Amino acid sequence: MHRRLVFEEPVSRAAIWSRRLALFGLTVVVLAVVIFRFGQPSVEWLAPIAGAYVFVRLALLLSLAAFVRIWQDGHRGIGIAAFAFVLSLLLLLPVAYAGFQLATLPLLSDVSTDIEEPPAFSRSRVALAARQGLVPPDVPAERRKAQRQGYPRALPIVLELPAEVAYDIARKASVNLGWRV
């Protein structure tokens, strides 16, 4: 009886671990988004998402290392590494989009639908009392124009209604949206 000698080509460990980390990152992102969506939103819920993206970035780096290792040493696992690479890129797309928005939109601390004569809510008696009399500076006209360029859909709504009726409608809309006013 003859024995057959079979040589197994090794699979890149970096490819295997990149797939594991990418799938783990996907699982944590999905669970965190579901919990964030159906729970009470708070800053603390962003920690699992941030942690998941650590694993996703590691998966991306490991998949790149796997590509190098497979190219140099001829190991198997190109499909595994490609899957991890594509999944990592897909998971990083929302973060990249948010970063792009952060880099391109103007940094504003006050947005108003009326940029010519914005309402002076921050100068109301209640607001001044909350800030112990500190009066905030006026927003320069060029910053308000930057708002119009960055947020062109933030326009005033002109209603042909008495102020009390318009206030009641706006209040009901904010309550229906779950806003705390």
What are the tens digits of pLDDT across the range 35-45?
Answer: 877 877 677 77
- Show the domain range for 135: 121-176
Same domain, 29 and 54: yes
d(CA 174, CA 172): 5
Same domain, 99 and 146: no
Residue 110 domain flag:
no
Residue 170 domain flag:
yes
Same domain, 72 and 141: no
Residue 109 domain flag:
no
Tokens of 142: 């060029």
Same domain, 89 and 166: no
pLDDT tens per residue, range 61-93: 999 999 999 999 989 999 999 999 999 999 999
Tally helices (H) and strands (E) across the chain: 6, 0
**pLDDT for 117 beyond 90:** no
Residue 114 domain flag:
no
Residue 6 domain flag:
no
d(CA 60, CA 146): 37
Same domain, 86 and 143: no
| DSSP label of 124 | S
Amino acid at site 105: L
Q: Helices (DSSP H) in 39-133: which residue ranges? A: 46-73, 78-104, 125-130
Same domain, 31 and 95: yes
Residue 111 domain flag:
no
- The reply to whether the predicted model has a pTM over 0.85 is no
In this prediction, residues 121-144 reach a mean pLDDT of 79
- pLDDT at residue number 122: 72
Counted domains in the chain:
2
pLDDT tens per residue, range 7-36: 788 899 999 999 999 999 999 989 888 887
